[in-house]
């Protein structure tokens, strides 16, 4: 689990994120693996596990970014362009007699 935690934490660090992604892709392409690819099933297991980990973590990063953008957009006060786009604006009306 320590290797998984290190991978996940390093991938979430913006300073090292692209290096980890690039290193993972090089590992997947490279014929030098923990278990060589010429072994029928065992050779593909480590590649599949690393690819699944990369896909899961990168998709989670995208989902987190989308959620944070959505919450930031909803916490900002409405602007004139928001009212023109069909959002309703509550106005306190006073009758003048």
Please report, for the chain, how many H helices and E strands are present, in that order: 4, 0
* Residue 96 within a domain: no
* Residue 85 within a domain: no
Q: Which of 18, 16, 50, 52 is nearest to 34 (CA)?
A: 50
Is residue 12 within a helix (H) or strand (E), and if so which, with residue range? helix 2-12
- CA–CA separation, 68 vs 45, rounded Å? 34
- CA–CA separation, 95 vs 68, rounded Å? 42
* Residue 39 within a domain: yes
pLDDT band at 25 (very low <50, low <70, confident <90, very high): very high
Domain count, the chain: 1
Output the CA–CA distances (angstroms, integers) from residue 27 to 33, 37, 80, 81, 90, in the order listed. 7, 11, 51, 48, 57
Whether this prediction's pTM lies above 0.85 is answered by no
List of residues 6+ apart from 60 with CB closer than 8 A: none
pLDDT per position as a tens digit, 64-96: 989 988 888 777 665 655 555 566 777 787 888
* Residue 82 within a domain: no
């Amino acid at each position: 689990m320590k290797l998984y935690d290190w991978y996940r934490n390093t991938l979430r660090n913006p300073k090292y994120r692209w290096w980890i992604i690039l290193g993972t892709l090089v590992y997947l392409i490279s014929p030098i693996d923990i278990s060589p690819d010429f072994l029928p099933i065992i050779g593909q297991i480590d590649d599949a596990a690393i690819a699944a980990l990369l896909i899961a973590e990168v998709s989670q990063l995208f989902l987190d970014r989308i959620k944070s953008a959505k919450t930031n957009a909803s916490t900002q006060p409405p602007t004139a362009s928001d009212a023109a786009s069909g959002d309703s604006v509550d106005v306190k009306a006073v009758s003048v007699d």
